[in-house]
């Protein structure tokens, strides 16, 4: 299945090579960028299936900072590229859950295998997970994604998961929690809030907040507004 791809690479030769290889594999390259600032705007606009990210960008920000920002909004497939097999950036990428990286220059066989591995891993996770296992005083509950209305961080490394009949409190970050949820169903709309799109009742006229079907009102942050507006079209 062809994937929508965005490439972030500051070296022109490597950027053109990555674009050529992706197209030879039948994927649709939606854009190529040499910096994270321009890339982020288009990533949030197009929501590509796959990001090919140079981990050492020649600017004030690196590829990891871009990945962290993207993961606050949704969770695409991500492959990082590097000129080195061992460095601190790769160790940080592993902490973000990026388990695959490619050493430049890329070749078509290695890129194809890594894309297939990423797709297989994503498919397995999707099949295994249609619910969150959340702790309770008596043990744990299996809470279906469709029963979750919204998520809220309390600012102290804990998140509140508001389900239909119960609210759960988990020691995690909002970013980490969203990585466990379907990116086409759950959207971050504020630094402290995210919600399930199916639970939306209305967007307020001032576009500063939304109301959910359960009556809960959530604030809508400016930096998250474009993605929600795109989804509402």
CATH topology of domain 131-232: OB fold (Dihydrolipoamide Acetyltransferase, E2P) (2.40.50)
Distance of alpha carbon 92 from alpha carbon 139, whole angstroms: 33
Range 181-185, long-range pairs (CB < 8 A, 24+ positions): 181/132, 181/145, 181/148, 182/126, 182/145, 183/47, 183/74, 183/75, 183/76, 184/74, 185/145
Q: Quick check: 151 and 179 in contact, CB under 8 A? A: no
Burial 88-112 (b: 16+ CB within 10 A, else e): ebbebbeebebebbbebebeeeebe
Distance of alpha carbon 203 from alpha carbon 229, whole angstroms: 10
The whole-number pLDDT of residue 97 equals: 67
The whole-number pLDDT of residue 204 equals: 92
Residue with tokens 């102290």: 156
Domain ranges for the chain: 4-127, 131-232
The whole-number pLDDT of residue 138 equals: 78
The whole-number pLDDT of residue 37 equals: 87
CATH number corresponding to 4-127: 3.40.50.2300
**Whole-structure pTM value:** 0.58
Maximum CA pair distance of the chain? Answer: 58
pLDDT in tens, the chain (233 residues): 799 999 999 999 999 999 999 999 999 999 999 988 899 999 988 899 999 999 887 656 678 888 888 887 888 889 988 887 656 667 777 666 676 788 899 999 999 999 998 888 776 665 556 888 888 887 788 888 999 999 999 877 899 999 998 999 999 999 889 988 888 899 999 999 999 999 999 999 889 999 999 999 999 999 999 888 888 87
The whole-number pLDDT of residue 20 equals: 97
């Amino acid at each position: 299945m062809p994937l929508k791809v965005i490439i972030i690479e500051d070296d022109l030769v490597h950027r053109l090579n990555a674009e050529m290889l992706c197209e030879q594999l039948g994927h649709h390259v939606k854009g190529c960028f040499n910096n994270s600032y321009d890339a982020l705007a288009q990533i949030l606009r197009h929501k590509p299936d796959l990001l090919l990210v140079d981990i050492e960008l020649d600017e004030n920000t690196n590829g990891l900072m871009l990945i962290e920002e993207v993961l606050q909004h949704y969770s695409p497939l991500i492959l990082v590229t590097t000129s080195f097999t061992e460095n601190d950036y790769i160790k940080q990428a592993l902490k973000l859950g990026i388990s695959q990286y490619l050493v430049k220059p890329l070749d078509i066989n290695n890129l194809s295998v890594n894309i297939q591995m990423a797709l297989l891993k994503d498919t397995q996770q999707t099949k295994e997970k249609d619910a969150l296992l959340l702790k309770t005083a008596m043990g744990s509950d299996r809470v279906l994604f469709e029963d979750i209305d919204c998520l809220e961080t309390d600012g102290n490394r804990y998140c509140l998961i508001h389900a239909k009949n119960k609210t759960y409190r988990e020691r995690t970050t909002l970013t980490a929690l969203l990585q466990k949820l379907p990116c086409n169903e759950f959207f971050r709309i504020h630094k402290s809030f995210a919600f399930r799109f199916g639970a939306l009742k209305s967007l307020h006229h001032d576009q500063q907040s939304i109301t959910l079907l359960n009556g809960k009102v959530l604030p809508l942050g400016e930096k998250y507004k474009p993605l929600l507006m795109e989804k509402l079209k």
